[in-house]
Amino acid sequence: MRLTYSAAVPDREPSRWSTLVLAVAGGALTWAAFPDLDWWGTAFLGVATLFLAFRRDSAWWNALVGLVWGLTFFAPHITWADFAVGRVPWLALSVFEACYVALLGAAWTWARRGNAVWRSAGLQLGVFVVLWVAVEELRMTWPFGGFPWGRLAFSQASSPLLGFAWVAGAPLVSAVVVAVGVLLAQVWTALRRGAFGAAGLRTAAAVVLVVAGTFVPLDTRAESGTLEVGAVQGNVPRPGLDAFSQRRQVLDNHIAGTLALLDRVAPGQLDLVVWPENGTDVDPQADAEAAQLIDDAARAVDAPLLVGTVEYPPTGGRYNTAVLWEPGRGVVATYSKQHPAPFAEYIPMRDFFRRFSSAVDLVTTDMVAGTEVGVVPVEVPRLERTVPLGDIICFEVGYDELARDAVRAGAEVLFVQTNNATFGYTAESTQQLAMSRLRAVELGRATVQISTVGVSAVIAPNGAVSQQTGLFTAEQLVATLPLRDSLTPAARLGGWPAWIADALALCVVVTGMAGARRIRRPDRPEGAR
């Protein structure tokens, strides 16, 4: 007896060439959803075309389809890596990240072979969503601490779906994007079969998912006072890898930017002034002249400075550090980056990777990971209390647990200190801004992204950008930030959504592989064999 398949896939497998064409189109559409284009709706279409491209029942072929989709997406998405470290590392990273989409293709093929899944369009939707989120989580953690760029959640900073970050963070936002994409693919196949009722229901479900994010309550009110903040984007002499060859000039630029704040505020009016990552690559704890310049600037504005700098411990290596400098007192608190970027700030397996690119030797001193949660306490006399600041340095904004740990440890506001000078006029800065906007919503905290060269911005707890600078300009921001101490559902849930997705993904793949063994291959519908 021939079993009737659901409206999820067509009766016959598509040709191999058509699946490759869909893969290329899907990768390009997904790339367009991210900054700088920021056409967030194309992410749904990118997922839909990939789902349709995976209709053949060959794990190896679907792995190839996933690889093609991944290359088409990642290569243009991270072109900033080409600018920063060269063609070979950029291509190698693009291929490696595309391999995760290849893994998704194989896992999906195995999972849907189970009896229940290939019979049900609804189960196919759920299983595909779970697999996608699990693969994103794997990509974000392995190897060498993972690479978070390209998560679908980061394409939705300007979309109604951003509200879902408040509920369960980036994993839920990515899941909803994938769900809408799969529904659109199922609408297409239902229409081809003439199943107009099913197509209408799935269209309605997709619309409901997109609109539902606007009903999430995003509170922006101050709960524990406000913080008066100035942020300094000092700029660098020139973009590229040699941007900090003139370290003294970069320090002078940020000193000048700090003094320029006095054109807008009176001394003592600000509670804090924030510099970016690498605001001074001259360590003020080791260089008396740099210390004097910073202290003079702090005295002039009569406010503590949160300064991005470097430290060279006697045990070797270096720390990427933020120091809180109080006028007349010097350093009173520090935070060191917990998640240095592999191949940019340190080189794992240096001898091995040198065989492929001499660029590994551009990193002459490996960065050491900090061990403390990113909370910096600052005394605010106006509030008559100490305010815990959440500090995130550069790429750390892409990793869920780092900002979340800071908020759960008491941070009432977030600062993302970053240095984008090495990425030139690429989309890296605006991609990072999208991540900062998601963190603001996810954790219910006002957020300031401050960069050496831009893009810097002030972000409300609902993700709205109230101020934004340009690229490679010297600018200052002044803002009144609401301090908040309540925890969002996402902050309370912690890593559980991702862990659940991981466990479910493993279960559905194993179950699908086992279930397929009990079904005669001729009895499987076309597209699920």
Q: Residue 211: which domain range? A: 16-218+492-516
* 458 and 431, same domain (yes or no): yes
Residue 507 falls in the annotated catalytic set = no
* 135 and 253, same domain (yes or no): no
Per-residue confidence (pLDDT) for residue 242, from 0 to 100: 61
Tokens at 135, concatenated: 């693969």
Per-residue confidence (pLDDT) for residue 2, from 0 to 100: 35
Establish if 97 belongs to a structural domain: yes
Residue 393 predicted with pLDDT over 80: yes
Establish if 346 belongs to a structural domain: no
Establish if 98 belongs to a structural domain: yes
For 231-290, the pLDDT digits (tens) are 999 999 877 656 556 888 999 999 999 999 999 999 999 999 999 999 999 999 999 999
Instruction: Indicate the residue type of 57.
Output: D
Q: Quote the CA–CA distance of 454 and 441 in Å, as a whole number.
A: 21
Residue 384 falls in the annotated catalytic set = no
Establish if 345 belongs to a structural domain: no
Q: 191-195, 314-318, 350-354, 467-471: which range is least confident on average?
A: 350-354
Question: In the chain, what are the helix, strand and coil shares in percent, each to the nearest 5?
Answer: 50, 15, 35
529: confidence class by pLDDT, cuts 50, 70, 90:
very low
Q: 167-171, 304-308, 520-524: which range is least confident on average?
A: 520-524
* 71 and 199, same domain (yes or no): yes
Residue 317 predicted with pLDDT over 50: yes
45 alpha-carbon distance from chain centroid? 21
User: What mean pLDDT comes out for the span 198-218?
Assistant: 97
Residue 337 falls in the annotated catalytic set = yes
Q: Quote the CA–CA distance of 318 and 366 in Å, as a whole number.
A: 7
For 121-134, the pLDDT digits (tens) are 999 999 999 999 99
Residue 523 predicted with pLDDT over 60: no
* 171 and 269, same domain (yes or no): no
Catalytic one of 277, 311, 345, 412: 277
* 211 and 291, same domain (yes or no): no
Three-state DSSP class for 269? coil
Catalytic one of 137, 394, 428, 475: 394
Catalytic one of 337, 345, 401, 412: 337
* 207 and 264, same domain (yes or no): no
* 329 and 445, same domain (yes or no): yes
Instruction: Indicate the residue type of 409.
Output: A
For 283-312, the pLDDT digits (tens) are 999 999 999 999 999 999 999 999 999 999
Establish if 353 belongs to a structural domain: no
* 430 and 500, same domain (yes or no): no
What residue spans of 194-287 are helical by DSSP H?
196-212, 247-260
Three-state DSSP class for 92? helix
* 285 and 168, same domain (yes or no): no
Per-residue confidence (pLDDT) for residue 11, from 0 to 100: 53
Per-residue confidence (pLDDT) for residue 4, from 0 to 100: 37
Question: Tell me, what CATH number does 259's domain have?
Answer: 3.60.110.10
* 479 and 498, same domain (yes or no): no
Q: Quote the CA–CA distance of 448 and 432 in Å, as a whole number.
A: 12
Strand bridging mode 272-274 / 226-233? parallel
Tokens at 27, concatenated: 């990768």
Per-residue confidence (pLDDT) for residue 199, from 0 to 100: 96
* 265 and 186, same domain (yes or no): no
Total domains in the fold of the chain: 2
Q: Quote the CA–CA distance of 244 and 236 in Å, as a whole number.
A: 7
Establish if 1 belongs to a structural domain: no
User: What mean pLDDT comes out for the span 50-71?
Assistant: 96
Establish if 10 belongs to a structural domain: no
Return all residues near 503 (Cβ < 8 A) that are at least 6 apart: none
Q: How many helices (H) and strands (E) does the chain have?
A: 16, 12
Establish if 11 belongs to a structural domain: no
* 155 and 285, same domain (yes or no): no
Mean pLDDT of the chain: 92
14-to-46, 58, 83, 107, 440 alpha-carbon distances in Å: 18, 12, 39, 19, 43
Residue 366 predicted with pLDDT over 80: yes
